[in-house]
Amino acid sequence: MIRLVAVELRRYLHRRAVLLLLVACVAVPVLLGTVAVTETAPPSDAEIAFAQRQLEQDRAASDYSQIVADCVASPADFGLPGLTGAELEEQCRAQVEPQLEWYLDNRRLDLDDERRGSGAAVASFLAILLLLAGTTFTGHDWASRSVSNQLLFEPRRGRVWAAKAVVVTGAALVVGAIVMTTYFAGLGLVASSRDVLADGQLLDAFQMGWRSAGVAAVGALLGFSLTTLFRSTVATIGLLLGVAVAGSLLLAALGVEERWNPAINLAALVQDGTTYYSESACVEDPGMEGPLDEDGYYHEPCTEEVTFADASAYVGSFVLVAGVASLVSFRRRDVP
Amino acid sequence: MSDLVIETSGLRKEFRSHRGGLRVAVQDLDLAVPAGGGVHGFLGPNGSGKTTTIRMLLGLARPTAGTMRLFGEPVPDRLPHVIGRVGAVVESPKFSPNFTGLLNLRLLADAIGAPRSRVDAAIATVQLTGREKDRYKSYSLGMKQRLAIAATLLKDPDLLILDEPTNGLDPAGIREIRETIRGLGEAGVTVLLSSHILAEVQQVCTSATIIGNGRLLASGRVEDLLGSSTSHRVVVPDPPQAVAALMAAGLDATAEARAVRVETEDAARITQVLGEAGIWLSELTPLRPDLETFFLALTGSEQLGGQA
């Protein structure tokens, strides 16, 4: 079996389409990471000097003293109740007069933001690219009919299926884990160098990255299974595209809860749980009468949660059904 | 231990068409290919079930009914135990087009743990040395066919199953493959050669099975199938004189251009009669029915793709 896995790994790594997809798995995160780092770079001395000049021009162009006086006279109208004296005047000036930071792009590199933003985008790209790699890997075997030649050397079809499945799943897991870990490690390094890295942020990001790698591996296995079942890359991509495009619309038309939307469940896997809009939740918890959370806010009404375990069961069921159907079909059907 | 390398009994394969009909590709086929080397022809018109039978033997298709054995082992159940002794080319060669010929062979060799040296030797045997690092899709049909034969040699097989192995080859290539097949047969490898080029089969095969419409029509040694000669062709200086002498001796003879056709199995009697008449023959040839004639006589009434 190990020998067969090694052969399939070589076959996988020699496929041109697979190699291109693996290159894209590196190129896309590099691109998105570069954008994230560049867009959150601290202002340069020249930018600060330019902003300072603009600030001085604007302060000189208008008289803010009357508005500051109004603020001091009626602090409640300016959202500053309870303040008095010098502190009140200082706050009023800060609110009314232009401030330097207004002229600078204040976006900081925040790993929590990147985890939900560019990190989620990288995870999505990886899942799609590695699913396509799994699909095209086995689709090529069927298109070229070389699978029959392979079976003349190893007729135990279950083993052949398993070896290919191990390779596409394992490769996706390893590539996904390396890319996501490197992505967040790179951002973490930059954030640390800018002194904006908070405790625990990097670990949270790594955990999200590893969950994403798991999703990518499951996607690759699903792509492989469906393509082996249909014996066609086009059929698999068509089906998945159909589910992605029409799936939500169909569920909505049928009145099925968002809980069963594949996208919601994939998001729950990557984000370790997520929430979705639920009509039934609105009925059960009308208005703003829910319990306060630890930050003192009411829970948002009309939402319910999909936990990581829920999503795992949901996605796992699909992959299990597709995998079993694929294996049974591969073992029993005639090979062209 | 069976003395048959291939044995099928009541083998049947049905295909369901998209319109719900049933097509019987192979029906109740009893095939027996003896062990001990030699080339066994597997003949039949296009669509007669040759390739389907081969695909079932190799585990690529499941039979609807019947049993099959390779080296005495029931297949497909015990196929993994005997596949290492079987090399096969089924229909057209099937390799990854973007891989080199060398990589295609190495992947197959690695799957069975064959040494790299065997890959090089196989490439040399089919004379692809120098082109093995070219992409498979750049190969001519003949080169693809030779690569497929090289793949069969990776296992050092006791049984070779070759389905139309000379398709696409030029005359020189056909002769090379024919010599390779003959050599393998003489070296103790049993070769099942499926082909519809009957002249080629007759040159290399010691035995043959002929099927038509998925059914066995004839099987046995080629000589037995064709039978002994019942007439002879005699080249003599004066055919009319020879015909007169032979007729006088009670033999049925007719003059042809610069020769005489004599309807008898007894060649010695012909030479005796002509010698006593003072006629010296320069050539005496037994006229045997060829495989093509025999094949057409057997399969002429068969219709392809029987419906059930």
Distance from CA of B107 to the nearest CA of A (A): 6
Whether residue A331 lies within 8 A of chain B, CB to CB, comes out as no
Residues of A in contact with B55 (CB under 8 A): 334
By the 8 A CB rule, do B298 and B248 touch? no
CA-to-CA separations, A92 to A56, A61, A80, B109, B307, in angstroms, rounded: 18, 19, 8, 82, 96
Higher pLDDT, A165 or B165: A165
Q: Does the pLDDT value for residue B304 go beyond 60?
A: no
**Residue stretches of chain A with pLDDT short of 50:** 285-286
Residues of A in contact with B14 (CB under 8 A): none
What is the model's pLDDT at position A297?
56
- pTM metric for this prediction: 0.76
Structure tokens at A131: 């699913």
Least confident of A28-32, A159-163, B52-56, B89-93: B89-93
Higher pLDDT, B1 or A317: A317
What is the model's pLDDT at position A290?
55
What's the mean pLDDT in B129-150? 86
Residues of B in contact with A141 (CB under 8 A): 96
Binary contact (B111, A152; C-beta < 8 A): no
What is the model's pLDDT at position A268?
85
Could you tell me which of A154, A108, A40, A15 has the C-alpha nearest to residue B84?
A: A154
- The partner residue sitting opposite B62, judged by closest CB among A152, A155, A334, is A334
Residues of A in contact with B104 (CB under 8 A): 146
Residues of B in contact with A10 (CB under 8 A): 107, 110
Most A CBs within 10 A among B58, B94, B156, B163, hence the mutation to make, goes to B94
Size of interface A-B (CB pairs under 8 A): 71
> What single-letter DSSP state applies at residue A48?
H
What's the mean pLDDT in B81-107? 89
- Calculate what percentage of chain B has a pLDDT beyond 90: 16
Binary contact (A154, B111; C-beta < 8 A): yes
Q: Does the pLDDT value for residue B172 go beyond 50?
A: yes
Could you tell me which of B174, B108, B242 has the C-alpha nearest to residue A154?
A: B108
Q: Does the pLDDT value for residue B308 go beyond 70?
A: no
Distance from CA of A138 to the nearest CA of B (A): 11
Binary contact (A7, B107; C-beta < 8 A): yes
Give the side-chain half-sphere CA count within 13 A for A191: 25
Q: Does the pLDDT value for residue B142 go beyond 60?
A: yes
Residues of A in contact with B151 (CB under 8 A): 149
Measured in whole angstroms, the distance separating CA B20 from the mean position of its chain's CA atoms is 35
Binary contact (A153, B60; C-beta < 8 A): no
Q: Does the pLDDT value for residue B74 go beyond 80?
A: yes
What is the model's pLDDT at position A321?
94
What's the mean pLDDT in B40-68? 89
Most B CBs within 10 A among A149, A151, A164, A333, hence the mutation to make, goes to A149
> What single-letter DSSP state applies at residue A298?
B
CA-to-CA separations, B64 to A151, B24, B43, in angstroms, rounded: 20, 10, 22
The three state secondary structure string of chain B is CCCEEEEEEEEEEEEECCCCCEEEEEEEEEEEEECCCEEEEEECCCCCCHHHHHHHHCCCCCCCEEEEEECCEEECCCHHHHHHHEEEECCCCCCCCCCEHHHHHHHHHHHHCCCHHHHHHHHHHCCCCCCCCCEHHHCCHHHHHHHHHHHHHCCCCCEEEEECCCCCCCHHHHHHHHHHHHHHHHCCCEEEEEECCHHHHHHHCCEEEEEECCEEEEEEEHHHHHCCCCEEEEECCCHHHHHHHHHHCCCCEEEECCEEEECCCCHHHHHHHHHHCCCCCCEEEEECCCHHHHHHHHHCCCCCCCEC
Could you tell me which of B141, B139, B137, B201 has the C-alpha nearest to residue B168?
A: B141
Q: Which residue of A has its CA nearest to B64?
A: A334
